[in-house]
Amino acid sequence: MAWLSITLELDPPQAEALSEALIEAGAQSVALDPVGDRAAPCTRLTVLAAANADPAALVSEAARTAALATPNYRVARLDDQDWVRRSQAQFGPLQVSDTLWIVPSWHQPPAAAAAATVVRLDPGLAFGTGSHASTRLVLRFLERSVRAGDRVLDYGCGSGILAIVAAKLGAGEIAAVDIDPQALEAAASNARQNGVALQASAPDALAPGAYDLIVANILAGPLIALAPLLAARTRRGGRIALSGILDEQAGGVAAAYARDFETRVGASEEGWALVEGMRR
């Protein structure tokens, strides 16, 4: 199967707004990567769309939804092997900490990872390789926060990386939800490869119940909209970690959850922040 790869570069707030609108307009996936510096911040969006998509219509519709002028963009055509090669070239073994490594399925774990927790991963078409700062922030949160037997929900699971790391760190029952069927397929496949159990489902198929720990690495706008739902899914005393948030958006996200959680802005990396909370 062939795909279209659409590349855009925008300032971070515009990139976030457009990324949400691109998914709504029919993009298969959108990856955001910071490419500027603090003096001139810039975010690159890499959009994957079906081969028969009209890139001009897709970008124009998303720009209208996000109330932006239609930006410049580049389009390339990829077949499956091109996509796989490009993904593999960009994704090598990643050391998250002294005790956690993310290693793609087409690499062998390095010798330095011999005594560490190793997660084998094939992201497929889903977001979540561990290389993005927003993902690394949540991975480090999980390392210091997961308790044996925790009931964990990964909301917007992408490749399943966060849910799988939670399982490897000793969590108990784990649910992973996403609106993208290809993400659910990738998460279930990666869980099997790592020998861990998780329930992957669409949000409306999530079984009833509350969780000890909820992680969500999405974007600021959806996280704010999800505040009542995620609060209802967190047990009293339970914890939440929210990512995919630019530094300047962190206060707004924390405020949206402050009714039900004791919130704080935690770590920050490369212009991205983590908002943590404990359920009252």
Based on the domain organization, do 66 and 197 belong to the same domain? no
66, 88, 110 - which closes a domain? 88
**Whether 54 and 149 share a structural domain:** no
Q: How many domains does the chain have?
A: 2
- At 87 the pLDDT is 52
Same domain, 259 and 143: yes
Average pLDDT estimate for 238-255: 93
Looking at the fold, whether 235 and 188 belong to one and the same domain comes out as yes
Share of the chain above pLDDT 70, in %: 91
Residue 159, CB-side half-sphere exposure with 13 Å CA sphere: 24
For 110-129, how does the pLDDT look when each residue is reduced to its tens digit (9 = 90+)? Answer: 999 999 999 988 766 555 66
| Domain's final residue, options 33, 57, 88 | 88
**Quick one: tokens of 36?**
């500027």
Range(s) of the domain holding residue 178 = 127-279
Residue 71's alpha-carbon distances to 6, 45, 47, 79, 87, in angstroms, are 12, 11, 14, 25, 25
For residue 270, what is the DSSP state? T
- Residue partners of 117: CB distance under 8 A and separation at least 6: 99, 100, 101, 165, 168, 169
Tokens of 221: 């706008």
Question: Residues 151, 275: one domain?
Answer: yes
Q: What is the pLDDT of residue 188?
A: 95
pLDDT digits (tens, 9 = 90+) for 31-86: 777 777 777 788 888 888 888 999 999 999 999 988 899 999 999 887 655 555 55
Question: Residue 13 and residue 163: Cα distance in Å, rounded?
Answer: 28
> Would you state the structure tokens that stand for residue 119, as one six-digit string?
């997660």
Q: Residues 144, 267: one domain?
A: yes
User: Do both 189 and 255 map to the same domain?
Assistant: yes
Q: What is the mean pLDDT of the chain?
A: 88
Q: What is the sign of the dihedral through the CA atoms of 140, 109, 160 and 175? A: negative
- pLDDT value of residue 124: 61
Q: Which pLDDT score, from 0 to 100, does residue 237 have?
A: 98
Q: Domain with 57 in it: what CATH number? A: 3.30.70.120
- Whether pLDDT at 90 is above 60: no
52 shares its domain with 152: no
